A and B are shown apart, each in its own frame.
Chain A
C-alpha cells in the first residue's frame, strides 16, 4: 500500500522522552538570581550527570584554568550559562541511546554534529558571542534530523545520501523522505522539551532566518549556526568546492571575514573535532585534513577547466546526441498524433446536421470532439478540453474519448453518461488533471437537443440573426469530485444552431485583441449564412494568423437544426 503523508508526520508524542533532570537544571540555570549552592544541590541529585559534568569540564577542550573537583566548585568557576550549556550537551548526547535506531550507528550522526559544533565555536569571536554557547547551538542545531530517523527508522537506508548532501540538498531530501525538515522538527522538540529560547531559535531558524521580533544576539546565533552548517559540509558533502565557496561567501556577508580567514577556520575543524570528541566522550572516525579536502575540491575544478578542444569535442557529441533524441521524440510524437486523430471522427465521416473541427497547438492535443449516430435518427455528440498541455493531457484525452465512445453507445442520457465518465476518470486521474466536457444528444426528428455540461464554456444556441440562449455548465469538470451530479438541459433548436467550442477559440487573437465571447458571436452572425462545413472553416480561419500558428488547442463543433438540411 502506498504510504500517505499523514503517516510521516512527526508529532510531539513521537518524540523521545526528554531528559527531565537535565532540563530541570537547565531551567534553574536560566533563572535570575539563582543561588549557586541550590544549583549545585540540584546537579548532585543526578550522580551520573555529576560525574560526566566534572569529566567534561576538566577536559582540555573546554580548558578551565584550574581543575574542578566538586560540583559546587564547577558551578562557581563555570557560571550558570556555561553550566547550562554543558549540561545540555551531555544530556542531548544521551537523549537517544546508541541502539535507539535499529541498524543505525548514532555515532555517525554525532560526528557530523560535532563538526558543526566546533565550526560554530570557531566563529564565536567574529560574532561577538560566547564560545560555549556557539558550540552548544552547533551541536544541537540539526538534532531534528536524528529525531526524524528515530521516528521513521525505515528511512535509515537514505542516511548515506543525507550525509553527503550539502545543507540545501539535504533539506530538500528531508522533505521528500519525511515531508518535513530537521529545523521544523527541531523547533517542535525544543518547544516540547522546553529548551532555552536562544537554542530553540538556533535549532528552528538556522535555514530560514529567525522571526523579526527575535533578540539581536539570537539573530547572530542563527547566523553562526547557518555558517557552521556549510563549514561542516566542507568535510562531508560530495561537492566540496561548492561548500567551501558558500562558507567563504556567508562568512564574508555575516561577519566580514576574508576568504583566507574562512579557510583558516575551516582548516582548524579537523583537529578541533578530534579534541571535542574526546571531551564529549564521543567516538569519531579519522578526520580528513583540510589539505586533502582542498585537493578534492581542486580536482573538480580541474575537471571544469577542461581544455578548449575537449570542450568543443564534448559539445559536438552532445549536440549530435540531442539531434538523435529529438528525431526519436518527433517520431514518437507523430505516432501519438496519428493515434489521437484516429480517436476523432474521420474526415470521411459525414453525418448530416453536425460538423467538427480540431486544430492542435502542439503535436498532440488535449481537446477532442466526437459524434456518431444513434438509433431513431439521433446523434450523440461531445466536445471536451483536458487541463494541461502536452503528453499527459493527450493521454487523458485518449482515455476520455475512448470512454465516451464506448459508454455513450449504451447510455443515451448525457447527464448519466457524464456521471459514469466522472467516476471512471476521478478514480484513476492524476491530481490536478481534469476534463471539461459538453455531452449531448440531438434528435433530428424532433429538432431537440438534450445536453449536460461538466465545467465547460457555455454552449451557444444561435438563431439566424441572434443569440437565442446560452447553456453554461451546471456541474464541475470531470475527474475532480467522484460524487458530482450532472443535470441535463433540453431545448428545441428552433431551426437554429448549437455551437460548442474550447477556450482556445475564445483566447485566439485577431490582431492584439482576444476573440472572447463577444467576438465569437460576431463571427457566428457574420458567417451564419454559409453551409455547415464552410462556416466552421471560416470561423477558424478568422482567428488563425497568416502563419497558421496557435497558442492553444482549438476545437469547434456545430449542431445544425436548420431545415435547409432536410432534417425534419
Chain B
C-alpha cells in the first residue's frame, strides 16, 4: 500500500505524507477504511503532509464518519501547518479530534 500503517498502543497509526490530492486520496481512503473495517481505532499522522486538497479531506471525513457509527476512535495527530490551515479554513478543526502526538492522545486516557 502507498501509505504505511503502524500498530501502536492499541491504535492503527496511518502515516500520510507528501501531497494528498486527487491522485493519492483513494489510497489514503483505502488504508484508513481497511484499518477501521478490522475494528481498529485509527490515528492519522499528518506530520509529513505537505498539501492536502478537498479529496484528501473527504477521505478523513469518511474515516471519521465510519468510526463514529461503529463506535471506534478516529483522530488526527501531528497535523502539519499546511494541513492544519486547510482544516481550519473549513472549520473541520471543530469536527476532528486533533492531538499533537499519539503520546498526547494516550495521556488523555480512554
Q: Is B44 an interface residue (CB 8 A)?
A: no
Contact (Cβ within 8 A) B58 A475: no
B110 interfacial by beta-carbon distance below 8 Å = no
Q: Which residue of B lies closest to A503 (CB)?
A: B54
> Of B61, B64, B91, B95, which is within 8 A of A387 by CB?
B61
**Does any Cβ of B come within 8 Å of A266's Cβ?**
no
**Alpha-carbon distance between A520 and B103 when the two chains are bound, in angstroms:** 42
- Which of B54, B57, B64 is the most central at the interface, judged by chain A CB atoms within 10 Å of its CB? B54
CB pair B39 A179 closer than 8 Å: yes
- The answer to whether B61 touches A480, judged by C-beta atoms less than 8 angstroms apart, is yes
Verify A476–B92 contact, CB threshold 8 A.
yes
Listed stretches A1-9, A141-149, A274-282, A370-378; interface member: A1-9
Q: CA–CA, A118 to B64, complex, Å?
A: 46
Neighbouring A residues of B92 by C-beta, 8 Å: 455, 476-477, 480
CB of B61 within 8 A of CB of A5, answer no
Number of B positions contacting A (CB below 8 A):
26
Residues of A316-339 at the interface with B, using a CB-CB cut-off of 8 Å, are: none
Asked if B70 and A431 make an inter-chain contact with CB atoms under 8 angstroms apart, the answer reads no
Contact partner, B62, options A431, A476, A503, Cβ 8 Å: A431
Q: Write the nearest CB–CB distance from A79 to chain B, whole angstroms.
A: 37
1/0 per residue, CB under 8 A from A, across B56-68: the answer is 0111011011100
Residue from the list B22, B58, B70, B91 in contact with A6, Cβ < 8 A = B70
Mask of A503-524 contacts with B, CB within 8 angstroms, 1/0: 1000000000000000000000
Interface 1/0 per residue, B8-41 and A, CB below 8 Å: 0000000000000010000001000010111100
Chain B contacts for A388, CB-based, 8 A: 55, 58
Within 64-92 of B, Cβ neighbours of A (below 8 Å) are at: 64-66, 69-71, 89-92
| List of B residues within 8 angstroms of A481 by Cβ | 95
Contacts of B29 in A (CB 8 A): 432
CB within 8 Å for A4 and B70 given contacts A179-B39, A432-B65, A475-B94:
yes
Complex CA distance for A433 and B62, rounded to whole angstroms: 7
A484–B94 contact, CB under 8 A? Answer: yes
A190 on interface, CB distance cutoff 8 Å: no
Q: Which one, A385, A387, A431, A474, contacts B65 given CB within 8 A?
A: A431
Cα distance A389–B23 in the bound complex, in angstroms: 13
| Residues on B with beta carbons closer than 8 Å to the beta carbon of A476 | 90-92, 94-95
Q: How far is the CB of A473 from chain B (nearest CB, A)?
A: 5
| Interface flag for A472 (CB, 8 Å) | yes
The answer to whether the Cβ of A180 comes within 8 Å of any Cβ in the partner chain is yes
Question: Which of B61, B70, B89 sits near A434, CB closer than 8 Å?
Answer: B61
Q: How far is the CB of A513 from chain B (nearest CB, A)?
A: 16
Q: Which residue of B lies closest to A436 (CB)?
A: B90
Interface size, A (range): 20 to 34
* Bound-complex Cα distance A385 to B54 (A): 10
A114 contacts B by Cβ under 8 Å: no
Specify which chain A residues have a CB less than 8 angstroms from the CB of B55 in the assembled complex.
387-389
Q: Which residues of A contact B94 (CB under 8 A)?
A: 475-476, 484
Which among A431, A434, A456, A458 is the interface contact of B66 at CB below 8 angstroms?
Answer: A431
Task: Write the nearest CB–CB distance from B38 to chain A, whole angstroms.
Answer: 6
Minimum C-beta distance from A365 to chain B (A): 14
CB distance from B94 to the nearest CB of A (A): 5
> Per-residue CB proximity of A439-478 to B under 8 Å, as 1/0?
0000000000000001111100000000000001111110
Q: A175 at the A/B interface (Cβ < 8 Å)?
A: yes
Q: Distance in Å from the Cβ of A454 to the closest Cβ of chain B?
A: 8
0/1 interface trace, chain B 39-57, chain A, CB 8 Å (1 if under): 1000000000000001101
Q: A4 CA to B57 CA in the complex, in Å?
A: 24
Interface residue? A184 (CB, 8 A): yes
CB distance B70 to A387 under 8 Å?
no
Of residues 160 through 201 on chain A, the ones whose CB sits less than 8 Å from some CB of chain B are 175, 179-180, 184
A480–B91 Cα distance when bound, in Å, is: 11
CB contacts (< 8 Å) of B89 on chain A: these are: 457-458, 472-473
B42 CB, nearest partner CB in chain A, Å: 13
- The 8 Å CB contact of A432, one of B36, B38, B62, B91, is B62
A474 and B94 CA atoms in complex are apart in Å by: 10
Instruction: Provide the residues of chain B in CB contact with A474, threshold 8 Å.
Output: 91
What CA separation (Å) do A477 and B65 show in the bound complex? 13
The complex places the Cα of A472 from the Cα of B88 at a distance, in Å, of 10
- Take A388-B55, A432-B61 as given contacts and tell me if A6 and B39 are in contact as well, using a CB distance cutoff of 8 Å: yes
Chain A positions within 8 Å of B, measured between CB atoms, are 4-6, 8-9, 175, 179-180, 184, 385, 387-389, 431-434, 436, 454-458, 472-477, 480-481, 484, 503
23 examples of A-B residue contacts, CB within 8 angstroms: A4-B69, A6-B39, A6-B71, A8-B39, A175-B34, A179-B37, A387-B55, A387-B61, A389-B55, A432-B29, A432-B58, A432-B59, A432-B62, A432-B65, A434-B58, A434-B61, A455-B91, A473-B91, A474-B91, A477-B91, A477-B92, A480-B65, A480-B95
Interface of B toward A, CB cutoff 8 Å: 22, 29, 34, 36-39, 54-55, 57-59, 61-62, 64-66, 69-71, 89-92, 94-95
